[in-house]
Amino acid sequence: MRETRKGMLLVISGPSGAGKGTLFKRLLAEDETMTFSVSYATRAPRPGEVDGKDYHFVSNEEFDRMVEKNGFLEYATVHANRYGTPVQPVLEAMEKGLNMVLDIDPQGALKVMESMPECVSVFILPPSYTELRRRLIGRNTETPEAVERRLGNAKGEIDQMNRYNYLVINDDVDVAYEQLKCIVTAEKQRSVRYFPIVEE
């Protein structure tokens, strides 16, 4: 049996505080076929974040230059900051048969889903708005005003969940991760990206 595979573009999205970052990092750590696209951001790094690993932290001017060169698969302004997914690393990884994972906000995810409808989109939901507020406050990275802004945005983002291929409620992180892993396993076997050759 010989087989070849085409890379999958996996878009993991959800409101801030839903836990998409935790799930996505675990998937990257456990699945060697997955690779991560490092987004560009105009915001300042949070404590512990590393430039070039978590994000490429750039100025608004540098971000504008990339926009002019069509360097982004998608870009958006979120919570008063700008974020963009560079197009070249995504396409190169998929051509090599690697699975590219995007951990992006819903605004950017919807743009990717429009431009690359073959992508696999997963929306991560919090169990409740009360729990979402608790998680956002617990991160200690936001002002009270920013927490309220993110909660307000979350309601509009959750209203768009039916536009995604899959929905995962992150109430128990282990259960949510198993569900995400099952989605990825099934999608790897889709006939649009898996090409086994049965030999004589």
pLDDT tens across 68-94, in order? Answer: 999 999 998 877 899 999 999 999 989
Q: Given the structure tokens 């690697």, which residue do they identify?
A: 98
Question: Which is the CATH superfamily of the domain at 2-38+97-197?
Answer: P-loop containing nucleotide triphosphate hydrolases (3.40.50.300)
Instruction: Enter the pTM of the model.
Output: 0.85
Cα–Cα distances in angstroms (integers) from residue 81 to residues 58, 71, 170, in the given order: 11, 18, 26
Cα–Cα distances in angstroms (integers) from residue 73 to residues 90, 180, 189, in the given order: 8, 24, 25
Average pLDDT over residues 46-58: 92
Q: What is the pLDDT of residues 126-140, one digit of tens each?
A: 999 999 999 988 887
From CA 35, how far away is CA 27, in angstroms rounded? Answer: 10
Q: What is the mean pLDDT of the chain?
A: 92
pLDDT at 77: 85
Residue type present at position 161: M
Predicted confidence band of residue 146 (pLDDT cuts 50, 70, 90): confident
Average pLDDT over residues 173-198: 95
The residue among 167 and 152 whose pLDDT is bigger is 167
* CA dihedral sign, ordered 170, 171, 177, 182: negative
pLDDT at 54: 87
Predicted confidence band of residue 99 (pLDDT cuts 50, 70, 90): very high
pLDDT at 5: 87
